[in-house]
Structure 1
Amino acid sequence: MATGGVIRRGAWRVLASISVLLALAGVVLPLLPTTPFALLAFWSASRSSPALTRWLRNHRTLGPVLAAWHDSGAVPVAAKWLACLMLLFSGLVMTASGVPAGGLIVFAIFALGVAGFVLTRPSPGGP
């Protein structure tokens, strides 16, 4: 049983490490999303490494977003705008690429759900 715990913790740590690298790459690469990878890194680090969790929470770029989400489920206004714009852009690309109507409908339902969730989250320091 102890071996299973070590393997599981190691798997969480690998997932956290890969997610941190992708989140940091997303800071400089415009089409790679930072926030989902940062949240995944924080979540998986909390299951494997208190030191990595502290490092993420105190990181100057990722820390504020992670702290806002962890403490109050808040999403920065800029991230809300970016998420909605990227969903719109994705829908336009799918339309221009000739995706069948059924695929566009499924995407539209998904996109509306994601946008609705993101937009209804509180903003840090706001109401």
Structure 2
Amino acid sequence: MVAAGFVIGGAFHLRDIVAGGWMPYRFAPDAMNLFWTMLLPLDLIAAGLILWRPGRRMGVVLGLAIMAADLGVNGHAWGQMGIAAFGPALTIQGAFALLLAAWAPSLWHSASTSPISRA
């Protein structure tokens, strides 16, 4: 479920890049545009690592870092730049970040249990 959230996030960024080209968020400063553009590969990497047991802990750490940064950047876009469209997105992203944080310990511990270590 958590990996699916990152795939969905990556799909939104892919849609934007397909529609608007590389760095499609031209309404934003270059650093924010680059950040949102780079979420496409980062979201997909986080999803893949979470699904891949040997990389799951790295995926959890990357996923938490992505969500913290994304909430911060999007919160700035909404609160400081006045981009109203980020209001609803922040609600969804905040809920997903809480879900990830709640599941992180379980995901973390599941990475250390493998059929080999139980033998």
Name the one with the larger helix percent: 2
TM-score when scaled to structure 2?
A: 0.42
Under a length normalisation based on structure 1, what TM-score does the superposition of the two structures give? 0.40
Higher relative contact order (CA 8 A, sep 6+): 2
Larger radius of gyration: 1
